[in-house]
Amino acid sequence: MDLGVVDGTNFEAAGVSFRAIHVRGHCEDMFCYWTQFNGQKWLFTGDAVFYGGVLGVINVRGSGMDGYRSDLKKLQGLAVEGLFPGHGLITLKNGQHHIDRAIELMKRGFLPPQVGQGGLVL
């Protein structure tokens, strides 16, 4: 069965409930998926946000800071323990710290680190 999602869509897969969160920035149709599993809150971020607060800005149409400025704040207050980006490092503890780092830098007028910058571990 195919399921179209919009921001806030709740659905179940393999007996686990998920909530879709639309976070533009990496691309126009990027979604993160929040869930609770065994009492822990997890977020699957695809290429939206990575370990260390790294953002997935790339050189394609629809990728850029405008989307992140509008949507990254939707990831505040989720109390995420497990952070699972599409590739690179994951964490099973304090995942919210990495999201909050990117949000805080943007609030202060700075660009968070981005994919492809030298010295970043991905």
71-109 per-position pLDDT tens digit: 999 999 999 999 999 999 999 999 999 999 999 999 998
pLDDT beyond 70 at 1: no
Nearest alpha-carbon partner for 106 in 76, 72, 63, 74: 72
pLDDT beyond 60 at 120: no
Rounded to whole angstroms, the Cα distance separating 86 from 44 reads: 8
Residues forming beta bridges with residue 13, ordered by sequence position? 16
pTM of the model: 0.91
Confidence (pLDDT) at 122: 46
100: phi then psi, degrees, rounded to nearest 5: -60, -30
Q: Using an 8 Å Cβ cutoff, are 47 and 86 in contact? A: yes
pLDDT beyond 50 at 59: yes
- Tens of pLDDT, residue by residue over 30-44, are 999 999 988 999 999
